[in-house]
Amino acid sequence: MKALRQNPHGLVRRQLRRLALSEDLNFLLTNRVPRLALTRFMGWFSRIRQPLVRDASMAVWRAFTDLDLSDAKKPRFDSLHDCFTRELREGARPVDTTPSVLVSPCDAIVGASGRIGEDPCAQVFQAKGFPYALTDLLGDSPRARAAIAALRGGQFVTLRLTSAMYHRFHAPEALTLEHVTHFSGDTWNVNPIALKRVERLFCRNERAALFARLADGTPLVLVPVAAILVASLRLRALPLPLNTRYRGPDELPCEAAYARGQEMGHFEHGSTIVVLVPPGFTPAPGVAPGASIRMGRPLLARPA
């Protein structure tokens, strides 16, 4: 205690150095590895339906995460993948019915959020000081250009799913999914450490842009982004998974209607969803970077 009183700044510097070392190690272990090969291996390994493999894998998973299966629909799972993609019991995620709000499509930790730029590329942020353009995220198709024109000056919210979370995502409001654009890419980790170090990370990773329209005609875009160990997305509106082995076509027209809170698809581990809405919406109370949110709770609001 005496040493602390005499040199408090030295202790702070040592703590900051340890934190920096920890971040460097995390970044090295998760991003300086053969990401695509590791991700494909994990996709195969997680589907092994052997009780010893399943139980050992889940024991390791529990040791490193706060995995909570108390709200799962079934008590036991056939494989690690079966647990990753679990359904929830009825009523586990009450969906807010306030007409003026859009609800969160998934369980998540809120990342960067804010106003979409009104510049031609419609700039947003993945982390402080790390901007990216919606033109890079959504592509340059006529549909993407029209969507970006409507989104300028609107709001974006980044929702990060951790590996222990519920991995299905749902409609934030009654909507029609009109088109899906798939982008082949990398599988960088999408944790906060990587987001502060890898520029335009979301624009580099495997992802899909889901172009939708609310019942009143308002455009809405959801962008599920893959990450290391998870580069497979299943959409109820499409017959095939979108993953690192998928090679097109990349433009996938569809016409699928969803009620508020209805399941749209799932990741096969944890990842990120970027929510993009046009002007007129504001973050719901409590929605701020670092906050936890559950599927069905208010995410964005507009005047009633």
Residues forming the active site: 107, 170, 271
The CB density around residue 118, as the number of other CB atoms within 10 Å, is 12
Exposure letters 275-289 (e unless 16+ CB within 10 A, then b)? bbbbeebebbeebee
Structural tokens at position 111: 């990342």
Distances (CA, A) of 30 to 38, 85, 172, 191: 10, 22, 31, 10
Contact (CB, 8 A) for 61 and 80: yes
| Nearest in space to 137 (alpha carbons), one of 158, 153, 163, 110 | 158
Cα separation, 5 vs 70, in Å, equals 46
Contact (CB, 8 A) for 267 and 240: no
Structural tokens at position 62: 């529990």
Taken in order 223, 226, 230, 234, is the CA torsion positive or negative?
A: positive
| Cα angle 19-290-243, degrees, rounded to a multiple of 5 | 90
Identity at 127, one-letter amino acid code: A
Instruction: Report the chain's C-alpha Rg in angstroms.
Output: 20
Sequence-ordered strand ranges (E) for the chain: 101-103, 108-115, 123-127, 130-133, 155-160, 168-170, 175-183, 207-214, 219-225, 232-235, 242-243, 251-258, 263-267, 272-277, 282-283, 292-293, 298-301
Contact (CB, 8 A) for 209 and 225: no
Q: Three-state DSSP class for 232?
A: strand
